[in-house]
Amino acid sequence: MSHAILRSAAVLDAKQLADVETIFSTRLKQEIKFELMLDPSLVGGFVALIDGKLYDISLAAQLAELKKNLTKIKMEGN
Amino acid sequence: MLEQLNLHLEDIPLHILNMIILFVILRQLLYKPVRKFMAERKARLDASLTEAEEAQQQAERLRTEYENRIAAAEETARERAVEITAAANEAAKSMKDSALEESAALLRKAREAAAQEHSKALANVQGDVVDISVAIAQQILRREVCHEDALKLTESYFAALAQGEKD
């Protein structure tokens, strides 16, 4: 079992946490148990740290990516 | 008749001799000195006239020379004035050309600066628009995204990861 930390934008109840753990366990093919931390700055989604590897599934990261792309388009347009 | 006029024929030679002697004496004492005086006077007058003519000719020569010098000086002054005018015109033209070049350069710089400021302002505004748009999206997402959406996001993430590994 891997020790992992999950940062979430919203508070998760036990079932919701279990849902997330199920997805990660299925995808990574190992049993994952998360230590939950609240981080509203993520806007939505999660950031998971599992065995030193970071999985950034937060909306904040996607918004940052969107902002970067919009800025790049603007500069190329000028 | 002669006796009535008190004339005696024997006196006539005497009178004639008297006249001759008088004439000779007058000639020696009066006529010759006066003639000499007149000749000297004429000579003096001629000398004065000659001197006056020479003086007049000298004056005429000097006047002509003076006029020539004046004319030469005027000509020199005219030529100098023409040179100075030409030089002044050239200098004025040069200054005007320099001023025109300088003002054209300043205008170009001002236009470039304005274009740069415009681009900068435009970039700032567009940057602000992007920031505002993302901030609005953030607010909406924070409000609207539920747990199911977060789970779907997670599934999509891993699907994309798997696709990336395949590529």
Of B10, B160, B94, B74, whose CA–CA distance to A57 is shortest? B160
Cα separation, B141 vs A59, whole angstroms? 8
**Residue B125 to residue B146: CA distance in whole angstroms:** 33
> Is residue B135 situated within a structural domain?
yes
The shortest CB-CB distance from A43 to any of B119, B138, B158 is to B138
pLDDT reading at A78 higher than 60: no
**Residue B119 included in any domain:** yes
Q: pLDDT confidence of B166, banded at 50, 70, 90?
A: confident
Structural domain boundaries enclosing B30: 9-166
> How many folded domains does chain B comprise?
1
Whether B6 shows a pLDDT value over 80: the answer reads no
Residue A9 to chain B, least CA–CA distance (Å): 9
Give the residue with greater pLDDT, A58 vs A71.
A58
Q: How confident is the model at residue B3 (pLDDT cuts 50, 70, 90)?
A: confident
Residue type, B63: R
Which is nearest to A7 in space by CA: A57, A65, A63, A51? A57
SS3 category, A8? strand
pLDDT in tens, A43-52: 899 999 998 9
**Confidence band for B36, pLDDT divided at 50, 70 and 90:** very high
pLDDT value of position A77:
56
Asked if residue B4 belongs to a domain, the reply is: no
**Distance from the B84 Cα atom to the nearest Cα atom in chain A, whole angstroms:** 56
B151 touches chain A (CB under 8 A): yes
SS3 annotation, B35-55: HHHHHHHHHHHHHHHHHHHHH
B3: in domain: no
Residue B107 Cα, gap to closest chain A Cα (Å):
23
Residue at B153 is within a domain: yes
List the beta bridge partners of residue A33: A3
Residue B101 domain flag: yes
Confidence band, pLDDT 50/70/90 cuts, at residue A75: low
Burial of A25 (0-12, 13-18, 19+ CB in 10 A): middle
Which residues from A are below 8 Å from B138, CB to CB? 43, 59-60, 63
Between CA B104 and CA B83 the distance in angstroms is 31
Query: What is the extent of the structural domain holding A8?
Result: 2-77
pLDDT in tens, B46-100: 999 999 999 999 999 999 999 999 999 999 999 999 999 999 999 999 999 999 9
User: How many domains does one find in chain A?
Assistant: 1
Complex confidence, ipTM? 0.82
**pLDDT at residue B97, rounded to an integer:** 96
Which pLDDT belongs to residue B162?
A: 85
pLDDT band at B147 (very low <50, low <70, confident <90, very high): confident
